[in-house]
Amino acid sequence: MTKHIFITGGVVSSLGKGLTAASIALLLKKRGYKVEMQKMDPYLNVDPGTMSPYQHGEVYVTNDGTETDLDLGHYERFAGITCSSRSNYTTGKIYSTVINRERQGGYLGGTVQVIPHITNEIKSAIVSMDNEETDIVITEIGGTAGDIESLPYLEAIRQFKYEFGFKNSLFIHLTLVPYIKAAGEMKTKPSQQSVGILRGIGIMPEMLICRCERPMEEDHFKKLSLFCNIPEELVIEEQDVANNIYEVPVELAKQGVDKKILNFFDLPENDLDLTDWQNVVDTIISPKNGSIEIAVIGKYISLKDAYKSIYEALTHAGISNSVDVQFRMIEAEDLEKENGLDLLKDVDGILLPGGFGSRGVLGKLLAAQYARENKVPFLGICLGMQCAVIEFARNVCGMESADSTEFRPETKYPVIALMEEQKSILNMGGTMRLGAYPCNLKNNTWSLDAYGEKAISERHRHRYEFNSKFREQLEQAGLTIAGTSHDDLIVEIVEVKNHPWYVACQFHPEFQSTPLKPHPLFKDFVGASLKNAQTKCECDGNCKPQED
């Protein structure tokens, strides 16, 4: 029978429930178990696809084309899990299913209510993860204990435990043990109160994971154990890690979290070999090739979560090149100001990520031009690729007003235009070209060099595309079409030659990068940027950290 772990959060949000859940999944997988993961989000949007990154951070896209919470990125990166539409439920999605069923007469004669209809729907979402091959499902409940909107989820998992057996599911509660500077002490009271809230709704956490800035003392463990009804050995400390989030699983393993979970379920411990993961952590801490700086140009740059997978993929590529990748985060609009391009001075590589809407597009075009003309390694992603094409059309082909019809529908040169199948779509949610599509790579391209194989599959999230009407003209001017859809109709990758490395793709390679398997395009982009850094300063790449 599949075992279930439910992770709830208390005291404050942003404690890193997703990271903790993903770290536990990695450890259990490394001990030989087949693990699946799922996140419940208590908001009313059906998915986060319609939310601004300022509200929600990045929208993470799965292979099957579901627009999901960015925590699913942690699940895939840490635990190598392939997420799907079953991996992320929101209150909006749960309610839509129930209301649609009601309209179809599915509850004829009945009054439809939160309990049992919504809670039953939540339980079936949880059970949908079970199958013969799955040993353990980890479900993260979004929000914080005490939130009104999380209540149906908490009630559902309470019932779940009662119905499926007390030893078949485990409640883990993640809380904060803050350090109060004025008192010079760490405080356990907020955690006690959070557990109290859960107890009030019938949930008795069986493991407490305490996020803290400083090490907890014996007294804290004892107090939390006594007041929260949790054996002392199941009170776990999760201190802020010193260098990188990839240290979290190593730290949790040191406290035997994985073993304790398996003991709870009466499952064999098996061996744990974290060598490859430890190598990742060690390389991040002491890379052989010093440090490089990559400019990331976006329009939500003040919020790091808005480009989460991009930064992670760059870090992964740093691991494979044994170099520390520093980010110079630049607001695209700042490049549009007087002397704005000075912001790009001395960067070793330029990355233009995806985005929507016209704000900052001029700055992005200037960055693409700067990279092309100054021979700075360049990776353009989705809108970044579209900007690269527009810039090339304007400045190399002389199509002065070249644009995307997203920004200027009446342009004479619509080099980027709405995809044919998008023209009749009116609904905004879940209607873009989404998820994994195959792509064929052409000979003599950096892309083929990077992937090492011609047939690849990458994830998409866009409505506009390279307009094939301009393909010949742009190719003649020197733009290389490096990858296309299997029928050769959709341009998926462009490259600019006579350059150290200039690649731009319509898809989002960042979603498939993991620390153990860095994405080939990111790997080669960072490789080219490292080479650029080394040639620029004529050293072996180690001068930068010394300068710092």
Enzyme catalytic residues: 382, 508, 510
Block residue for tokens 């939130």 = 147
Residue 65 or 355: which CB sits closer to ligand GLN? 355
Minimum CB separation from ligand GLN for residue 297, in Å?
Answer: 13
Residue 461 contacts ligand GLN per CB under 6 A: yes
The answer to whether 467 touches 417, Cβ cutoff 8 Å, is yes
Instruction: Measure the CA–CA gap between 57 and 275, rounded to whole angstroms.
Output: 32
- The answer to the question of residue 380 lying near ligand GLN (CB under 6 A) is no
Q: What is the separation of C-alpha 385 from the centre of its chain, rounded to a whole number of angstroms?
A: 20
In the list 300, 464, 502, 507, the residue contacting ligand GLN (rule: CB under 6 A) is 464
Among 308, 328, 462, 519, binds ligand GLN (CB under 6 A): 462
Q: In whole angstroms, how close is the CB of 378 to ligand GLN at the nearest point?
A: 16
Cross-strand bridge partners of residue 384: none
Buried b (16+ CB within 10 A) or exposed e, 250-289: bbbbeebbbebbbebbebeeeeeeeeebeebbebbeebeb
Choices 110-118, 196-204, 348-356, 438-446 (CB under 6 A): range interacting with ligand GLN? 348-356
By the rule CB under 6 A, 406 interacts with ligand GLN: yes
Nearer to ligand GLN, 75 or 466 (CB): 466
DSSP secondary-structure letter at 506?
Answer: S
The least distance separating ligand GLN from the CB of residue 417, rounded to whole angstroms, comes to: 10
Nearest Cα residue to 350 out of 333, 320, 373: 373
Total of residues contacting ligand GLN (CB under 6 A)? 10
Candidates 328-336, 349-357, 371-379, 497-505; binding stretch for ligand GLN (CB under 6 A) = 349-357
Q: Please state, in angstroms and as integers, the Cα–Cα distance from residue 506 to each residue in 46, 88, 163, 382, following that order.
A: 25, 25, 47, 4
Shortest separation between residue 243's beta carbon and ligand GLN, angstroms: 31
The residue (of 17 and 461) whose beta carbon lies closer to ligand GLN is 461
Smallest separation, CB 353 to ligand GLN (Å): 7
Q: What is the dihedral of CA 117, 122, 126, 127, to 10 degrees?
A: 10
For residue 394, the minimal CB distance to ligand GLN (Å) is 18
- Nearest residue (CB) to ligand GLN, 228 versus 382: 382
- In sequence order, what are the beta bridge partners of 458? 437
> Alpha helix (H) ranges present in 237-306?
248-254, 257-264, 275-285
Chain centroid to CA 112: 36
Segment (H or E) for 466: strand 464-466
Of how many residues is the chain composed? Answer: 548
39 lies in the site for ligand GLN, by CB under 6 A: no
The region of 244-252, 317-325, 455-463, 516-524 touching ligand GLN under the rule CB under 6 A is: 455-463
- Does position 299 interact with ligand GLN (CB under 6 A)? The reply is no
Q: Of the two residues 372 and 462, which places its CB atom closer to ligand GLN in the complex? A: 462
Identify which of residues 150 and 506 has a Cβ nearer to ligand GLN in the complex. Answer: 506
Question: Is residue 407 a contact residue for ligand GLN (CB under 6 A)?
Answer: no
**Which amino acid, residue 454?**
K
Selected from 463, 499, 519, 523, the binder of ligand GLN by CB under 6 A is: 463
CB of 382 to ligand GLN, least distance (A): 3
Given 382, 388, 503, 521, the residue binding ligand GLN (CB under 6 A)? 382
For residue 356, state whether it binds ligand GLN (rule: CB under 6 A): yes
Q: Choose which of 48, 205, 354, 414 interacts with ligand GLN (CB under 6 A).
A: 354
Helices (H), 359-426: 361-373, 383-395
Q: Is 419 exposed, middle or buried (0-12, 13-18, 19+ CB in 10 A)?
A: middle
For residue 489, the one-letter residue type is L
Six token digits for residue 97: 């299913």
By the rule CB under 6 A, 390 interacts with ligand GLN: no
Could you tell me which stretch among 78-86, 361-369, 423-431, 460-468 binds ligand GLN (CB under 6 A)? Answer: 460-468
Cβ closer to ligand GLN: 314 or 432?
432
Cα–chain-centroid distance for residue 531? 28
H-only helix segments in 80-177: 91-103, 119-127, 151-164
In degrees and rounded to multiples of 5, residue 136 shows phi and psi of: -140, 135
Nearest to 299 by CA among 378, 383, 379, 405: 383
Comparing CB distances to ligand GLN, the nearer of 354 and 363 is 354
For position 58 contacting ligand GLN by CB under 6 A, the verdict is no
- Asked if residue 383 binds ligand GLN (CB under 6 A), the reply is yes
- Only one of the segments 245-253, 303-311, 457-465, 538-546 lies at the binding site for ligand GLN (rule: CB under 6 A); that segment is 457-465
Tokens, residue 385:
């690729």
**Token pair of 404, please?**
């995307």
Q: Residue 8 Cβ, how far from ligand GLN at the closest point, in Å? A: 32
d(CA 349, CA 296): 9
Stretch that binds ligand GLN, among 71-79, 158-166, 182-190, 351-359 (CB under 6 A): 351-359
Q: Tokens for 353?
A: 């990520």
The residues binding ligand GLN (CB under 6 A) are 354-356, 382-383, 406, 461-464
